[in-house]
Structure 1
Amino acid sequence: MFRYSLLLLLSILYSSFFLQAQEMNPDSISVLEEIIIGNDTFPVVKVDQVQVVERKFDSNLDEMRYYRFRRKVYKVYPYAQMAKEILAEIDEEKKNSKKKRHFKKYRKDKEDALREKFEEELKKLTVTEGQILVKLINRETGNSCYRLIKELKNGFTAWLWQKVAKRYGYDLRDEYITDAPENFDLEFVIAEIEGTLSQFYGKRK
């Protein structure tokens, strides 16, 4: 059930992006590629060459848990990047938009289209994958999911999904703290994906 809140957030962001694509010069925007694996469609985000560093673990169980977590981060990372890019476009569009009524109508149409396209993929996310995605969206956008939903929809919608999220152990109001001990593994995997492990280790010395 809570996965629908993630779908809602991403659909709002994605639909707004398509609105801008219709109104802006195609050369001024970047369109995300997609890859189809089986019956699933995933957004593709191009990043620099991935750095892989061997890590030492206290036990085989710790190692197994880490690599399971790592796979989940790799899975949801593109969605967070999509949110980041689209939010940047939305901020720019808000500065130039003069017709809110047309914006809302078009956004609703695209939201419905995205729900049809990505609903099944997001419904398949596990609880842990959903938690990671919430953290990544917060990290990449600088805003909590609660705040994003409130700004892009309304306060009632944000409150409603916060209530649902609480039932599944989430808190959409949580702010992401990069240096928090509980986020060490997530930051490590992100640095691996983005090819910034040397900077990561430099900051933590």
Structure 2
Amino acid sequence: MKKFFLLLIIISFNLNAQIKDSLPDFSDEYFLVKDGDTLMIKLDEVPVLPKHKFKSRKDVNYYYWFRKKVFKAYPYATLASKRIDSLHARLDRIESNRKKRKYVKRVQKYLEKELTGQIKKMTRTEGRVLIKLIHRQTGKTVFENIREFRSGWKAFWYNTTANVFKLSLKDEYQPELANEDYLIEDILQRAFIDEALELQEPKLEIDSYKILEQKKGAIDVEEYKKMFAKMKKKKKRKKKKK
């Protein structure tokens, strides 16, 4: 992955040497500051993201708890995107509809075998993040991806099943509107800069830096604090019943 940075290299040439180095043929990325003395290599700029603003130390803990969820879900979303891209490319080369259907089924079985087991081990939060990240990486919701390669009826039942676990395969990724999606985008962009995650360009059009700038680093994790508060209450009730 490209890392965005600006690097200045100063090279001193020995003017008294018998054989002088000739100046290279500079591309748009390079330019000479002072002939025969200082060389400036212009690379991509370093993106400076807003400094995080947390309300409390507890909020920091919740943010990093959610960060782990994003880190777990992101590789599966990028894998799904790669497989779907490969599927489209392959189908474009197949003329027979029968062979196309056969190939789609083969890819489906492969994806189910590769992803289903891992996804079943995910928590509800991780599953929700994955659904949103698939929309980010493929440009289509999970429901739309399923409907494209299977019947709309099966997509409906997939969505119904997900609703049992309070998840919707129709969920969209909207970091400019939804707080959770903003947190995901914030985590991803910082991870890309740190090279903690491998960058895969999203199919969804997102002005990431504009979105992060507008929030000015403010981190809202109240949703997760409430979620854990409810979980604690349920545990207490169960203990009392026992």
Q: Which TM-score bucket, shorter chain as reference? A: 0.5 to 0.7
Taking the aligned partners of 2:77 and 2:151, their CA distance within structure 1 comes to 21
Match of residue 62, structure 1, among 59, 62, 66: 59
Once the 2 structures are TM-superposed, how far is the Cα of residue 81 of structure 1 from its aligned partner?
1.1
The 8 Å contact of residues 91 and 100 in structure 2, kept in 1 or not, is answered as no
- 2:104–2:149 contact (8 Å) kept in structure 1: no
Matched, 1:74 2:33: no
Question: Kindly tell me: are residues 173 and 120 of structure 1, through their superposed partners in 2, closer, same or farther at Cα, counting changes over 3 Å?
Answer: closer
Answer yes or no: is 1:145 the counterpart of 2:142.
Answer: yes
Alignment match, 1:97: 94
Larger Rg: 2
Q: Against the structure 1 CA distance between its residues 141 and 111, is the aligned structure 2 distance closer, same or farther, given a 3 Å change threshold?
A: closer
Match of 1:184 in 2: 182
Tell me the secondary structure at the aligned position of residue 178 of structure 1. Answer: coil
Contact (CA 8 Å) 1:48, 1:194: kept in 2 or not? no
Of 139, 157, 160, the residue aligned with 1:160 is: 157
Q: Name 2:116's counterpart in structure 1.
A: 119
Between Structure 1 and Structure 2, how many residues are aligned?
157
| Aligned partners of 1:70 and 1:189 also within 8 Å | yes
> 5+ residue gaps in structure 1?
1-46
TM-score (norm 2): 0.56
Which structure shows the higher helix fraction?
1
Q: Out of 166-175 and 144-153, give the one that drifted further.
A: 166-175
Unaligned runs of 5+ residues in structure 2 are 5-46, 195-206, 215-242
TM-score by length of structure 1 reads 0.65
CA RMSD of aligned residues (A): 2.8
- Structure possessing the higher relative contact order (Cα contacts under 8 Å, 6 or more residues apart): 1
Q: Any idea what SS the aligned residue of 1:108 has?
A: helix
Q: Residues 109 and 202 (structure 1 numbering): CA distance in 2 closer, same or farther, change over 3 Å?
A: closer
2: CA distance, partners of 1:125 / 1:98: 38
Equivalent-residue separation in structure 2 for 1:86 and 1:162 (angstroms):
21
Which residue matches 2:23?
Answer: none
Structure 2 counterpart of 1:172, from 154, 157, 169: 169
- Note closer, same or farther for the CA distance 1:165–1:190 as it changes in structure 2 (3 Å cut): same
Alignment-mate amino acid for residue 186 of structure 1: I
Q: Deviations over 1:61-116 (max 9, x none)?
A: 21111101101111111111122223233333333321222233244345434444
Partner Cα separation in structure 2 for residue 175 and residue 115 of structure 1:
22
Quick one: distance in 1 between partners of 2:108 and 2:76? Answer: 15
CA distance in 2, matches of 1:80, 1:116: 15
Distance 1:77 1:148, change over 3 A: same
Give the C-alpha shift of residue 60 in structure 1: 2.2
Task: From the superposition, tell whether residues 156 and 129 of structure 1 become closer, same or farther in structure 2 (CA, over 3 Å).
Answer: same
Contact 1:52 1:192 in 2 (8 A): no
